[in-house]
Amino acid sequence: MNSILDITDNYIIIFYFLLVLGIGLYFSKGSSHSVENYFLAGRKMGWLAIGFSIFSTNISSEHLVGLATAGAKNGIVVGHFEWLAIIFILILGWFFSPIFIKNKINTLPEIIGNKFGLQVRKIYSAISIVTYVFTKIAISLLAGGILLNEIFGWNFSTSITIMLLFTGIYTIVGGLRSVMYTQILQSVILILAGVLVAVFGISAVGGVNSFLSQIPSDHLEIFKPLSDPNFPWLGIVLGAPILAGWYWWADQYIVQRILSAKDVKNAQKGTAFASALKIFPFVFLIIPGLIYLELNGSSYNGRVYSLLFTANIFPSGIKGIIISGFLAAIMSSLASAFNSIAALITFDFISHKNKNDERLLLVGQLTTILIVLTSIVFIPLLSLFDNQIYINLQRLQAYISPPILIVFIMSVFWKKSSNFAAKWTLIIGESIAVLRILADYLSAYNYFENKLILFFHSVNYLYFAVFSFIFSLAVFLLAANIKKEKIPEVSQQQVWIQNEKFEKLTN
């Protein structure tokens, strides 16, 4: 361990690793009996585990590195994504979880496939897998490696490899059940670490009154002007809900926790608990950014958490708890990503060809191993990513989410069916997303100065999400009218707007 930590901190961190590994392996019992146990925890999870798992899956290293830094640069306005999540998590629980649980789906793309066919299901699943690689695994590893390297000087590749291997062991052996039970511990440690950062940080700047009096006035603005490059108020109002709808409703990464619930009531209680926990990120992500400003004379010149550590405001033992919280955030999100990708591959690409439970379970475990090993090989490429992590993550999600959200909404609420429309909405919508990513890259490195590329690049990412959402909806409706198809019988049973038994389902 690095000299910035004393022996007490080192023991705390080692104890954290051993405790997480022990919990993961203990709860792996029974997970190898069936593919449903492995990927859906036997559909027996209670509300407490579901709530903690949703929270821990969501909060990762890009929040610790990126959101805290964005808070230092922009103020409390960055909290909009966290506050909005509270509403969308509750909608997930009360409106969508009854549909998911009643239909006994194994993956979210399955409900898409029931409405629009196997081909669309595979396209939806493939897009999700590629998205997880870049927005979940790569970003989490990058941010985690940066954090540990800047605070302790730990070797970037070595520290990431250790986290991957520890996380991979209990994820491979125990599946979702092990992941969710370890996330209970990880959530508690993460929250405790965040509160300690806020408490000792505020103390370091002179107490609560001193802290509040020194916050720059522009950092207290809840809504920024339309000209703001990152958080224009109109973009927040119109664009941010699109990102939230995709992330909280239409993404296997989150929905898999709902699918593990023993019943609808536990799913709903779990989402209510998770939404309450979403209050904490403001405490340990945005407040530290403001503390950083006050410690550094309101001048921004680096990453928040690494500079708070170098300010030496945390006593012995507390540093170990905080670092354990960092590790918990990284490992919990990685475990969820590994298990979700393996579930998508197993159920959406393999299970319709082979129904043998033992073989499917083996495929799931081998796929998880492959994902972990691929992530290790992927480490050298992480240095190519831009360091504005949180904002760039939101940009990337704004580009890819609109067509996915449209197809999801249509699969649940639309009375008709059109495989043709769903397929081309995804293909065209995601092609435009790729073009926007290329335009950003070309403009950033001045490879081209074409006016069209520069204009395409200049549209704020939140406004882009709105335009893409409207365009994707237009593509879907146009394609559905070009090629009309008869709705499958199975689809009629899951369309919420037609389901006369929905009220009974939620009681």
Give the pLDDT confidence of 213-266 residue by residue, as tens digits: 888 888 888 888 888 888 899 999 999 999 999 999 999 999 999 999 999 999
Q: Does any domain span residue 332?
A: yes
Question: pLDDT tens across 347-374, in order?
Answer: 999 876 666 778 888 888 888 888 888 7
Q: Does any domain span residue 30?
A: no
For residue 358, the model assigns a pLDDT of 80
Q: Does any domain span residue 334?
A: yes
For residue 165, the model assigns a pLDDT of 84
Q: Does any domain span residue 1?
A: no
For residue 56, the model assigns a pLDDT of 92
C-alpha distance from residue 333 to each of 131, 247, 383 (Å): 14, 14, 20
Alpha helices per DSSP H over 278-356:
280-281, 287-295, 304-310, 318-344
Q: Six-digit token pair at 430?
A: 């995601």
For residue 486, the model assigns a pLDDT of 64
Q: Does any domain span residue 376?
A: yes
Q: Does any domain span residue 33?
A: no
For residue 19, the model assigns a pLDDT of 93
Residue from 373, 391, 375, 365 nearest 444 by CA = 391
What is the DSSP code (8-state) at residue 407? H
What is the pTM for the complete model shown? 0.89
For residue 347, the model assigns a pLDDT of 93
Number of domains in the chain: 1
**Domain residues for 169?**
7-22+48-506
CATH number of the domain bearing residue 145: 1.20.1730.10
Q: Does any domain span residue 38?
A: no
Q: Does any domain span residue 29?
A: no
For residue 32, the model assigns a pLDDT of 60
Alpha helices per DSSP H over 137-232:
139-152, 156-204, 208-214
How many Cα atoms are found within 13 Å in the side-chain-facing hemisphere of 503? 1
Beta bridge partners of 261: 45
- Enumerate residue ranges in the chain where pLDDT < 70: 1-3, 30-33, 61-62, 65-66, 297-303, 352-355, 377-391, 444-450, 485-507
